[in-house]
Structures are given as C-alpha cells and as structure tokens.
Amino acid sequence: MVEKDADSMRETLAGLADGLACPRCRLVLAWRDDRGRCSRCERFVPALGGTLPNFTDAEDASAAAILALPDGAIGRAVRAVQALRAGESPLPEDLAKLQEFRIVDASGALTAMGRAVSYHVAEFRRQAEGGAPARLLELLRENGLGPGSRILDVGGGAGQTLRRMGPVPGGERVCLDLDLTTLAFGRRWASDEGEDVRFVAATAHELPFRDARFSHVICRVGLNYMHQATALAEMVRVLEPGGVLCLTTEGPGFDLGLIARSRGPRELAGRLVDAAYGSLLGLTGRQPAPGGRSHCGRSFSTAGRLRRQLRRLRCDVLRLAATRRRVGLPVGFECLAVRRDGGPPGKA
C-alpha cells in the first residue's frame, strides 16, 4: 500500500472503526492496519484499497483500480460518463480510462457495471440540482438533522444524498451499499472534492454496526431491492432510541411510467415482468429469504404493511404517504418513523 493510501485509510476508519461490528456476532471488530477481525467467529474483513471496509465477501478489480486512481482522475471519468449519457463522445483519453475500469466495453458502450455507475452520476447531478431529495432533507432537518447527527444511508450508492446534505459538523455521514464499484467511485469522488463521507460495503440484511450507532438512518428508493422485513429490522437496530428513520420507496405507479416509456418490445416485456413480479411479492408480502448478497427480487410494499412492520419494530410512524399517484396507483411512498425506546426492536 502506498503511503497516501495508508493515511487516507486511517482517516476513513477514524471514528468509523469503533462502530464497525461483526454483522453476525455483533462484536466490535478489532481493526489493525487494513483489516478487521471478529474475536468470536474470527471473521476477517478487508479494507479494499486500504480505505473501503468490505463486508460483502466479494472482490472487485474495478473497484480496487478506482480506489487507486491518481487525484483528479475521477473528475475526468465523471465527465466522460456524463458525455456518454448525453449521447456525446468523451475525450479519447477519458474513454480509455473508462475501459480500464470496465465501465465501458471495447466498443465504447456502458457495461452493466458502467450503467450502475452512470445511474449514480446522473442521480448525483439531479440531486445536487434540487430534485426529489430536497423534500427528504427538509423532513430530516425538521426532525433533528443538524450538527452532531450520525447519519447512515442504506443503499446510498455513490453517496449522492449524503453529499447533497452538506457537511455535518461534529457528526458523520456513512454510505453503505452492496455495489463495490459504485462505492469506490463515490469514495474517490467525495475525497477528491474534500467531502467527509465514509463508505462501507455490506448488505442491508446484516448491517456491520453496533446497536444504536446512528441518530438518523435513511434509505432512498433502496428498500424495494432488499428483503424488506430483514432490512427494516436492521435499520431500526442501528438507530438510537429517539432516532429517526426516513424511507422512500417506489410503488407500482412508478413502473407504469417506466412501461409507458419503454423503447421497443423487449424493454416493454422486461418491465411488464418486473412490475408483475414486484406486485406479486408486494401483495403477498412474501419475498425469497435473503442470501449473503441476494437482492431478493424487487418488490413493492403497501402503506399498511410498512406501518405494521415499523410498529412491530417499536417505531412511531410520524408520516407515511404516497408521494403521488398514477392511474390511482402510488408512484412511491415517503415514510418517517422514530424508534420509540431502548428495548430491543422486535421482528418486522
């Protein structure tokens, strides 16, 4: 590891390390150099590139390459991804970099991983320019978000929503996601721009933090992709008593919009299947059990089920409403809940 990486690893883990716990044993990990270890199960947790604690058991060469980028390179990659999204040609040297990180393939088209990075770059821009998170941030600020807040964003991608919040003096912003490339991208992007956001790779189904670690937990359009009962129980577990949970989810009305905008029969068929599967899981409330890295199928929830689940987890639901409706179907839900007391949260 080069000296710069060692320094930035210490910086990344400073403060975070004491709250990083073995997701199974719940014991705080003993952290040494660029790896952590659970004293009970001996689970070993590497910090990818010396800076990104990785609880996913996955390896990702592109993520490691992104973390090792020289200063300033990420800005070029962001510009190149934006040019590709706009249907323009990026500069040849920028395109070569994207090929090296496997964000685009040899023909210059975005790879599956590249589409994920591209989504987060576009979301970052959209959120920085206002967009949907403005309302979410307003809700959080009305509910105690401010200096000293410890905020976890579950399924936070490249940290776009946390960065939109701006600095939190005396507090911390932690972005957790499953996707190593996106996290690596977000980590380098944030640190190049002097933003104090910490990044952790793990599944929402086993959050690698000690109980009551955070004052605010947010999950913006991530819950649909997770095993909802498991992820909700974990989010409440890491929330301190009186802490605030803020969720937004997609509803079937969102898919109606996607279906209407489909380009061609293949895309239309794929979106119809997604919507039908998500609705079936949503209506029955049954999702496949989460495996280590399982996405459990994208699923909708209903306001009633979400409310019941949060109540069972000893939360007071302050707000739960459809954001808008399309042909009578909710496009999404916005939910704000407070963890009630210090007792152990139940099952969702």
Ligand X SMILES: C[S@@+](CC[C@H](N)C(=O)[O-])C[C@H]1O[C@@H](n2cnc3c(N)ncnc32)[C@H](O)[C@@H]1O
For binding to ligand X (CB under 6 A), which residues are involved? 123, 155-157, 160-161, 177-179, 182, 203-205, 220-222, 225-226, 295
Please, which residue, 13 or 202, has the CB nearer to ligand X?
Answer: 202
Closest CA to 279 of 329, 334, 218: 329
d(CA 272, CA 224): 16
The continuous run of DSSP H or E covering 126 comes out as helix 112-128
Please, which residue, 22 or 176, has the CB nearer to ligand X?
Answer: 176
Please, which residue, 98 or 296, has the CB nearer to ligand X?
Answer: 296
The continuous run of DSSP H or E covering 222 comes out as none
Query: Can you give the length of the chain in residues?
Result: 348
Please, which residue, 12 or 203, has the CB nearer to ligand X?
Answer: 203
Please, which residue, 189 or 225, has the CB nearer to ligand X?
Answer: 225
Q: Shortest Cβ distance from residue 127 to ligand X (Å)?
A: 7
Q: Based on the number of CB atoms within 10 Å of its own CB, is 165 exposed (0-12), middle (13-18) or buried (19 or more)?
A: buried
Q: Shortest Cβ distance from residue 330 to ligand X (Å)?
A: 17
Q: Shortest Cβ distance from residue 6 to ligand X (Å)?
A: 28
Q: Shortest Cβ distance from residue 158 to ligand X (Å)?
A: 8
Q: Shortest Cβ distance from residue 120 to ligand X (Å)?
A: 6
Please, which residue, 157 or 253, has the CB nearer to ligand X?
Answer: 157
d(CA 131, CA 272): 27
Q: Shortest Cβ distance from residue 177 to ligand X (Å)?
A: 5
d(CA 126, CA 96): 26
- For 148, phi then psi, to 5°, come to 90, -10
Q: Can you say how many angstroms the Cα of residue 61 is from the centroid of all Cα atoms in its chain?
A: 20
Tally of CA atoms within 13 A in the half-sphere of 238 that contains its CB: 30
Task: List beta partners, residue 172.
Answer: 150
